[in-house]
Amino acid sequence: MFKHLRGDLFGGITAGIVALPLALAFGVSSGLGPSAGLYGAIFISFFAALFGGTNTQISGPTAPMTAVSMVVIAGIIAINDGDINKALPAILTVFLLAGIMQIGLGLLGMGKYIKYIPYPVVSGFMTAIGVIILVTQILPAVGYYPKEDEAYVNQFMPEAEEELLENILQEEAGEGILVLEDFTETIKRAEKITEADMVKEAATLASKEASGVMGTFKVLPRALKNINWLELALALATIIIIYGFKRITTAIPSTLVALIVVSGLAFGFGLDYRPIEQIPSGLPIPNLEIFTAFELDVITPYIFTALTLALLGAIDSLLTSVVADNMTQTKHKPNKELVGQGIGNSIAAIFGGLPGAGATIRTVVNINSGGKTRLSGMIAGVLLLIILLALGPVASQIPAAVLAGILVTVGIGVMDYRGLKAIPHLPKDIKLGPLKLSSEVIIMLVVMVLSSIWNLVYAVGIGLVIASLMFMKKIGDLTALRSNVRALREEPWSDEKNIPQKIKDEVFIKHIKGPLFFGSTNEFQQLASQIPENASTVIIRMGRMQYMDQTGLYAMEDVLQDLKRKDIQIILVNILDQPRYMLERIDIIPDLIPEEHIFKNFKSCLDWVDKNLNHHE
């Protein structure tokens, strides 16, 4: 590990420096504060590198993981009276669950299956992440904070009063106090509600109403009337430097240059700007409340979200691993990588950090700076810890608008432009009335729109369901096209050309080529209509039917029962192992088709038919 120490040292230091502004920005945008982003970057970078399966990968909070985390954080804070300290144990427990799930995915060997997530789902999701980050940073970039706008907050005072009374009734119900005719206890508690309580609740409701993409658009007119021009100038200066400095050199990360230059000028000139939240000094300490304050009813609604975080982190990390493989001509271990990411996320959650994943840009920077082993990722984590301990008070003076500017560039950069550019050129394979559309474009747009305006987690689930259904239809159509299960006039095979005329007159031979599955069952079910009226025996040749699914199994059962009712003798020839197993499971063999009517080859079948035809008559 240490023979590449020089390269790993440079790679880790450079990657850590690149990670610093992003970690702070992701922490602020998540709602947990800059320290959460920094703690996530420290622990995930170190432990994912130590236990992971990609030598050069640098991990930490990423845009997609932060966007989903925002949903968790906002939801749990909302049901905890807007009190982040009260909500924190539940939030971190969800993050811990996500990490444990990732470890489980790795131990179960699921790493190799992650690649089957359809590209349109990933593309739509990534573009939505970009839109969400870009839109939600408009308000901090112009210096507008809804919960601090007194006129806006006052609109929610009646609703806040109702909410507080509802909370009192819920408390009484929890304590077993029955409120029937005597409201004495309720009135007594309601009288303790102060004006400050109502303002705090109204500010929470105002903040919730203005959150997300749709919330931002709702309050945008108010924000544009209340622009803080200094904050806007700081955000724009940050964006200009990030894009402008890249044209000069890429040797020094332009994000870091923008952070230092704009923050330095704002602080140096004593400008009246809004700093980010205070970053705690000293070593991070574990939040043990996540083990003692675990409430199942609070966590249960977020189990699917935790799984989404785990899967998203897995996809994010393994895609970055592929990039690292291509650059270093190595091969990562996907399952080990998932275990490493899970350990990193679990430890980060215990210490109050944001969840994260393998970060492509930071990994590329590490490799280009000489990083070759897992030591580089560990060094990046240690560097961030040193910065936290040495420069925590200094970092607390960074203007919030600077981080908003950084996130605007992240939002622009994370969108999947390759997928968007391909929209006009993808094949239009779906007909909706007079319209012909591309199934890939439909999936991409559905995921993108639903993620942006509704719910990231549900949007991905819906996208996967649509993609799966469309995939099944396509495969069904293609297989049915190549399969000779269709109700067409049967062309005799070579070994059927010299069959005696006596047999030809009374025997109908059916060929099945290809799998009998949900995509081809309709055609197979038309078998009865193909049989000539004078036929007393049906021979079904199954030597080229490699597979039968449950839909195909029941379709065959229906057809065979229909033939039996018409007193038609059924003979099966050359059944392969899997179809035979299926037929035996529901007793088609031997109840419907006895063993003496099943033959290994066509010749022995013909011999039997020749001897038994007259007998059957």
**pLDDT tens digit sequence for 362-372:** 898 889 888 89
Cβ(418)–Cβ(50) below 8 Å: no
Residues 6+ away with beta carbon under 8 Å from 12: 58, 366, 371, 375, 376, 377, 378, 379, 380, 382, 383
Q: Tell me the per-residue pLDDT of 442-459, one tens digit each, with 9 for 90 and over.
A: 889 999 999 888 877 788
Contact predicate 41/4, CB 8 Å: no
Mean pLDDT of the chain: 84
Q: Are strands 435-437 and 430-432 parallel, antiparallel or unpaired?
A: antiparallel
* Spatial distance between the Cα atoms of 502 and 590, rounded to a whole number of angstroms: 28
What would the pLDDT profile of 72-130 be if each residue is shown by its tens digit? Answer: 888 888 777 777 888 898 899 999 999 999 999 999 998 877 766 787 888 888 888 88
Query: Quick check: 324 and 363 in contact, CB under 8 A?
Result: yes
Query: Residue 31 has what DSSP assignment?
Result: T
More confident residue, 153 or 175: 153
The count of other CB atoms within 10 Å of the CB of residue 30 is 25
Does 590 sit behind a cis peptide bond, omega within 30 degrees of 0 on the bond before it?
A: yes
Measured CA to CA, the distance from residue 532 to residue 450 in angstroms comes to 54
Residues 6 or more apart from 299 whose CB is under 8 A from it?
A: 90, 93, 94, 97
When pLDDT is averaged across residues 182-196 and rounded to a whole number, the result is: 74
At position 260, the amino acid (one-letter code) is I
Residue 285: alpha-carbon gap to chain centroid: 30
What is the structure's pLDDT at 486?
44
**pLDDT of 543 higher than 80:** yes
Lowest mean pLDDT among 88-92, 130-134, 298-302: 298-302
The residue to which tokens 């409340």 are assigned: 289
| Residue 104 and residue 350 in contact, taking contact as beta carbons nearer than 8 Å | no
Question: Helix/strand/coil (H, E, C) string of 482-541?
Answer: HCCCCCCCCCCCHHHCCCCHHHHHHEEEEEEECCECCCCHHHHCCHHHHCCCCCCEEEEE
Which of 253-262, 302-311, 500-509, 553-562 has the least mean pLDDT?
500-509
- Specify which of 36-45, 143-152, 386-395 reaches the highest per-range mean pLDDT: 36-45
Query: How many of the other CB atoms lie within 10 Å of CB of 216?
Result: 20
Is the pTM higher than 0.85? The answer reads no
